Amino acid sequence: MAPYHAVLVHFPVALWTTAALVILVRALSDGALAKASDRVLVPLLALGALLGLAAYVVGLLVWPLETAAASPLARNHLLVATWSLVYWTLLLITRWMQGEAVWEGVTRWVMLVLAGLGSILLTITGTLGGHLSGNPTAVSRVLHFLGWDVYDTFYLPDWVLLLLAVAIIVLPVIGLWGRRRPA
């Protein structure tokens, strides 16, 4: 089953990476190409969520929860994979429900930031999966530099907690500010 998981994970990674690029193009442009690429955003995110769920389920079949719980690295991978799947699914729901309104005003920049955060989350998920399969990457050195040794039990470095506290305050303020501005 492990080879199936290794193959399956590449599909949501490719789809979500492409979706992030579409969001980048659309956030920076109102041109015909940007609008045309935006029309495939919901299908990209939806297919990524479905294939992400398939990869997640197959991963659970490869490494049962009891096994993952015994390894800090596997626990970290499972946790971040769960965050990635939920995060990108919520981005899909946001774009689907809000329609093209997400590209008006300040929300276009919020979408761009969300795509960036999702890409970082996806990169960390892949890095941890690479470690589990014996293919460590340079990203783990960056994570170590930022205060997280991927082989240790998951925790949030103090600077991440501070960043989360700032985001909890700033993101709703940006949302309210964007909602009150006339179109």
Do 25 and 115 touch, CB atoms closer than 8 A? no
Rounded-to-integer distance, Cα 143 and Cα 33, Å: 36
Rounded-to-integer distance, Cα 112 and Cα 25, Å: 9
pLDDT of residue 153: 65
pLDDT of residue 52: 96
Tens-binned pLDDT, residue by residue, of the chain (183 aa): 678 888 999 999 999 999 999 999 999 999 999 999 999 999 999 999 999 999 999 988 887 788 877 888 888 888 889 889 999 999 999 999 899 999 999 999 999 999 999 999 999 999 998 888 888 888 988 888 888 787 776 666 677 778 878 888 887 887 777 777 665
pLDDT of residue 148: 79
pLDDT of residue 120: 93
**Entry pTM:** 0.80
Residue type present at position 35: K
Do 38 and 26 touch, CB atoms closer than 8 A? yes
Domain boundaries, the chain: 2-180
